[in-house]
Structures are given as C-alpha cells and as structure tokens.
Amino acid sequence: MAGPRPAISEIPHPALAAWLTARGEPAFRAGQILAGAHRPTSASFDDLSDLPMSLRGALADAFEFSTIADTHVISGDRGLTAKAVHELADGQRIESVLMRYPARGRSSERTTICISSQAGCAVNCPFCATGQAGFGRQLTPGEIVDQVLHWHRPPWSALGDGSTGHYNIVFMGMGEPLNNADRVFAAVRLLNDPERLGIGARHITVSTSGVVPGMDRMIDELPQVNLAISLHATTDALRDELVPINRKWPVREVVAAGRRFAARTGRRVSLEYVMIDGVNDTDEQALGLAAHALGWLSHVNLIPLNPTPGSRWSGTPAAGIARFGALLRDRGIGVTVRDTRGRDIDAACGQLHAQLAGRSLRELRAVEVPA
C-alpha cells in the first residue's frame, strides 16, 4: 500500500483545494502546489519556494511527496540507458528504465521511459524474469506516476519541463497493465493532466500479453494511447507455453481485439515478437505471423530474447532475425528489428530486481548521474 498519506501525484485537484480551504488557505494554491510538485527542480515540499513555509510543512505532514521510499540506479550503454529499482513503502520492489536515443540525421533526441504497472506479474511467461518471480501486488496510480517523476526530479531531472513532448512512456516494465486496468487508466489520465506532467496520450504505449477485455476498454476509454500486443507465437500450441494467458484468450481472439482497436481508433497496433532461438523463429511461425498481421493497421517489432539467468533459451542470432523479417516484408508486413537496450545492466524485464533481491538498496546505492 502507498501508506496512510495520499500521494501528491494522485490527489485530485478538487480534493487538494478542499484540504486547503479546510485549513483557511486560498484554494488557488492547489494549482501552485501541483505545478511545484511537478517542477524538475523540486526534490521535496521544501523546494516549493512560492508557498509559505508553514504550508510546506503542513503539506509534508499530510501528503507523500513520493510513494517511492528508496531507489537504486545503475547506468549502462555508456550512459544512454539507466535502470532504477524502486522500493515502495511496504518493501515491494519495482523497476523503471530511462532510455535516451541521441539525435540522428533529421530526428531530434528522444527519450523513452519504461515503467511498471504491478509488483511482479501473474501471467508467468517462462522467458521473462518478472514472470518467474511471481505476483506481488497491484500498483496504485501514484506509484505508477511516481516512477516517471523519479526521472523528472533531481538528481536526474532528465525529462525537461514536461511541456516539450520529446519523451515517450511505455508500460513495458514489470507487470501486466491490463490486469490492473483501473489504476493504469487512472495513471494515464494523471500523466495527461496539463496541470501535472501533461504528457500527450499519443506519447504513451500500453503493452499487453493479450487481455482482450482490457484492450476493448482501451478503445472506449483511452483511444489515443498506443497499443502493443506481445504475441511471441502464432499457434495456440506454442503460445500456450510462451504466454500462458493464451489459454484464456487464444491467438485468434487476441489478434481480433488488435484489429478492432486499429479499426475503431485509426491507430497502428504493434505486434511484439521476442525471437527465441529454435523455438518461435521457424519459417512456419513467420508465415503464420504474416497471416495474422496482413490486411490491417499493424506493425511487427522483432526483439531478440535477452536471456534470463539460468534460461534454457537463447536469442535468435542476427542472421535468423533478418531471414524471419524478410519473410514478413516479402508479404507486405511492416517490420522493425528492435535493439535490446541495457543488456549490460540486465535491463530485461525484472532482471535487475531479481539480482538485487535480499540486498538493501541503501547499502547498494551509488547513483551515477549521466553527464
């Protein structure tokens, strides 16, 4: 739980205004407080220097500035990737990752931040470190937003003032976001809020292992948020093994939900496909994938498996990925081969967390702030 005090990152404006009024403070200070709490220079309520000192103290007594109790950060990819393990008030640990993509040619610098939606995950995909660790609990909207705020605030202050729109948020950390849909949707609305970080829905992506009712809710409730489907196999026999939630919602239903999303929202859906050597990278799977992806607004992302410690599987070699990709392209499917960021710092889903289990973050902390 987030603790008895509400998080400033999830308190609704009217509730904050009511709290102020009850203290005899003007309600307009609610906007000032929210602006201050989301400034990249604010590390605590003390830094809200446009507020009277007594009010800063009262805020600290009444609200959590962050639901994250402690964080350990390590950098990799020569400073382009940074991965955080966050410890929450009850000792649960979650992960978020910051990835920078330097400006190249005509494209300007981009940053993507990958966040968790649950502590652990119950879906239990055998190639995923989070799945192997099992389910802890649901995250609150504040705990989801506070992962973004961690990178926004000192000492990182890596995301600018939030008005630039030059960064993206992906729900690709720990957890299955659509198994925590109410809180994830609430977090998305908080991230969108112009009084807070003001991140446009088009800069946010929800990745799902195939929770069909959740995808249908996205069509109605978050039609501007991007949808990525972790397909990873094109036959039920193989997908039952790789993405066990397939036993509930089989491939055909998952792809049909993707098609509905694309048709109703006009937005392109990503089909994520982790390439596992000798397992799901056969020509037969490529042709199956082409058949599922053809004829609607879809795009395939091929991702080499980042093997978890002790894994019986390895990633498909580059030549195999190229061959698989060519089979898709020959059939008119849009394909991107994604790089796996953070291999050198175990940034695949849940891995760093697994490595640090049982060690205190305070003891480990040696925060490297990128230059």
Active site residues: 95, 349
User: Which residues 6+ apart lie within 8 Å of 240 measured at CB?
Assistant: 246, 247
Closest approach, Cβ 231 to ligand SAH, in A, equals 9
Segment near ligand SAH (CB under 6 A), from 62-70, 82-90, 305-313, 353-361? 305-313
CB 204 within 8 A of CB 188: yes
Closest approach, Cβ 351 to ligand SAH, in A, equals 7
Place of tokens 């093997």: 307
CB 16 within 8 A of CB 34: yes
Cβ distance to ligand SF4 smaller for residue 51 or 274: 274
Using CB distances below 5 to 8 A depending on partner kind, what does residue 272 bind out of ligand SAH, ligand SF4, none?
ligand SAH
Cβ distance to ligand SAH smaller for residue 199 or 274: 274
Q: What is the dihedral of CA 123, 124, 130, 135, to 10 degrees?
A: 60
293 lies in the site for ligand SAH, by CB under 6 A:
no
Cβ distance to ligand SF4 smaller for residue 44 or 138: 138
CB 135 within 8 A of CB 118: yes
135 lies in the site for ligand SAH, by CB under 6 A:
no
209 lies in the site for ligand SAH, by CB under 6 A:
yes
Site residues, ligand SF4 (CB under 6 A): 121, 123-125, 128, 130-131, 175-176, 209, 230, 349
Nearest to 97 by CA among 86, 110, 84: 84
276 lies in the site for ligand SAH, by CB under 6 A:
no
* Distance separating alpha carbons of residues 153 and 112, to the nearest angstrom: 16
Closest approach, Cβ 12 to ligand SAH, in A, equals 27
* Distance separating alpha carbons of residues 168 and 35, to the nearest angstrom: 21
Helix axes 29-37, 13-22, angle to 10 degrees: 120
Phi, then psi, of 146 in degrees rounded to 5: -65, -20
Q: From the list 303, 321, 333, 356, which residue makes contact with ligand SAH (rule: CB under 6 A)? A: 303
208 lies in the site for ligand SAH, by CB under 6 A:
yes
Nearest to 67 by CA among 30, 36, 37: 37
Cβ distance to ligand SF4 smaller for residue 20 or 211: 211
Interacting residue ranges for ligand SAH, rule: CB under 6 A: 121, 127-128, 171-172, 176, 207-209, 230, 272, 274, 303, 305-306, 308, 348-349
